[in-house]
């Protein structure tokens, strides 16, 4: 696809934005998400589910279930994929914008 296509995709699915879809397909390396868009689909890699501990394909959400995820990147080739994350730390940053000082010092 061309640059114009990806510019449109990136303005519709912005980095750091929470989006919703339906779990479409399971693979050993992650899940595919139907975003309701014929041009692109989402992918959550197995490494983008949990902050700590082990994730296994047996733990994936059921096919057809709704899922909220954060846009973390793009596969800019014929696969037309939006990279998504459902890690709690990533979801929290997308949902709650905290004003955290650069350094925290206690007196």
pLDDT of 107 reads 46
Question: Within 10 Å of residue 96's Cβ, how many Cβ atoms?
Answer: 7
In degrees, rounded to 5, the angle at the alpha carbon of residue 70 between the alpha carbons of residues 51 and 74 is: 105
The model carries a pTM of 0.86
* 29-41 burial code (b ≥16 CB/10 A, e <16): ebbbbebeeeebb
Q: Domains in the chain, ordered, with CATH?
A: 3-95 (2.40.50.140)
Rounded-to-integer distance, Cα 90 and Cα 46, Å = 14
pLDDT of 94 reads 85
pLDDT of 2 reads 80
The mean pLDDT values, 10 residues at a time, for the chain of 107 residues are 86 95 96 96 96 93 96 93 95 80 55
pLDDT of 103 reads 58
């Amino acid at each position: 696809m061309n640059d114009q296509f990806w510019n449109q995709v990136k303005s519709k699915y912005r980095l750091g934005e929470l989006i919703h879809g339906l779990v479409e397909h399971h693979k050993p390396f992650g899940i595919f998400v139907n975003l309701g868009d014929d041009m692109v689909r989402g992918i959550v890699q197995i490494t983008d589910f949990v902050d700590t501990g082990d994730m296994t394909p047996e733990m994936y959400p059921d096919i057809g279930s709704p899922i909220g995820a954060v846009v973390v990147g793009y596969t800019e080739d014929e696969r037309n994929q939006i990279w998504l994350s459902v890690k709690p730390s990533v979801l929290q940053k997308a949902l709650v914008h905290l004003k955290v000082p650069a350094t925290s010092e206690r007196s």
